[in-house]
Amino acid sequence: MLGRGSIWYNKIDSGWTILSINGAAPETDDNPLLGWNINKRIIHPFCFNRPWMSGDNFEEFADVFGIKKLGQFFKDPGHFMGSSISNFAPIRPSWCQNDGVCEKISLTAQIEQCSPEKFDFEDRDGDVWIKHSSDGYDIEYSYRILGPISNKRCSDLAPNIGVSCNKGYLISVGDYSGGSMGWDISYGVYGFFDLPNFGPSIVPLKFFSNKNEGLNFLDEN
């Protein structure tokens, strides 16, 4: 161990490895923003589309639009906007019955559809937090702004979309439906675009495997 027990390490077949760092201080935002504000409207958590835990929603879009590079699509969806994905409208997924009522799924989120002008939420230490009831279950949703990216860099993440990015942020977004699995949290860059024939929308551009990877991306600005 090192530092009077602060760092524990051991030697394995491939070399030395750190087992634990005790007392490490988590990174905090110097000036956290409470919610994404567009035209004096706080954006609702439902505007941040992301791969479900099962991945079924992104796989469905890949099937509809003939996207073969599934791994890249899950990581960098912005690169497919305006090229492979030429229509931003919600789609009816294949698991819907032809004669049944089924909710369509979206990648891009029209602000007028996903975010009411006023909704009840709580400030949970910088997170926009809501509770939503669905099919008799209460589900918690929240998101937090982790940091901005430049409009140029935001636009570069969607090179084929046809319009410039008006604003972009690294966002943590999650939901919790109870049980021992805890919160399902994703970290991704989202951009605000005024899409032709679709309107002002929040577009998922890039996802990261963890928060630190996303923060490193911000540091590359």
Residue (of 55, 66, 29, 8) closest to 186 by Cα position: 55
CA distance 79 to 81: 6
Is residue 141 scored above 50 in pLDDT?
yes
Residue-number span of the structural domain to which 78 is assigned = 35-219
When pLDDT is averaged across residues 42-53 and rounded to a whole number, the result is 95
pLDDT of residue 153: 97
- 18 domain-assigned: no
Q: What is the reported pTM?
A: 0.84
- 6 domain-assigned: no
Percentage of the chain with pLDDT > 90? 68
- 121 domain-assigned: yes
- 61 domain-assigned: yes
Tell me the pLDDT of the chain averaged across its residues.
Answer: 87
CA distance 123 to 125: 6
pLDDT in tens, 83-134: 999 899 999 998 887 666 788 999 999 999 999 988 999 999 999 999 988 7
When pLDDT is averaged across residues 64-92 and rounded to a whole number, the result is 95
- 15 domain-assigned: no
- 10 domain-assigned: no
* Count of domains forming the chain: 1
